[in-house]
Amino acid sequence: QLYESGPGLVKPTETLSLTCTVSGASISNSNYLWGWIRQPPGQALEWIGTIYYRGPTWLNPSLRTRVSLSVDRARDQISLRLTSLTAADTGTYYCARATVERPGALYSGYPALYDWWGQGSQVTVS
Amino acid sequence: VLTQSPGTLALSPGDRVTLYCTASQRVPGNFLAWYQQRPGRTPRLLISDAFVRATGIPDRFSGSGSGTDFTLTIRRLDPEDFAVYYCHQYGDSLSFGGGTRLEIK
CA distance A105 to chain B (A): 10
**pLDDT given at position A31:** 94
CA B79/CA B14 separation, integer angstroms: 9
SS3 A89: helix
**pLDDT given at position A55:** 85
B18 burial level (CB within 10 Å; 0-12, 13-18, 19+): exposed
Residue in chain A lying closest to B29 (CA):
A111
A46's CB contacts (< 8 A; 6+ apart) are: A37, A38, A39, A40, A60, B96
Size of the A and B interface in Cβ pairs below 8 Å: 59
Range of the domain at A57: 2-125
What's the whole-number average pLDDT of chain B? 96
Number of domains in chain A: 1
Q: Look at B86 and A109 and tell me if their CB atoms are within 8 Å.
A: no
The number of angstroms, rounded, from the C-alpha of A52 to the middle of its chain's C-alpha atoms is 11
Chain B positions touching A119 (Cβ under 8 A) are 42
The 10s digit of each residue's pLDDT in B38-70 is 999 999 999 999 999 999 999 999 999 999 999
- CATH number assigned to the domain comprising residue B14: 2.60.40.10
Could you tell me where the DSSP H helices lie in B3-105?
none
- Tell whether A101 lies on the interface with B, counting CB pairs under 8 A: yes
SS3 A106: helix
CA B46/CA B101 separation, integer angstroms: 15
**pLDDT given at position A109:** 85
Number of domains in chain B: 1
CA distance A123 to chain B (A): 14
Q: Taking 90 as the threshold, does the pLDDT of residue B24 lie above it?
A: yes
- CATH number assigned to the domain comprising residue A31: 2.60.40.10
Average pLDDT per block of 10 residues along chain A, 126 residues long: 95 98 93 97 96 94 97 96 98 96 88 95 98
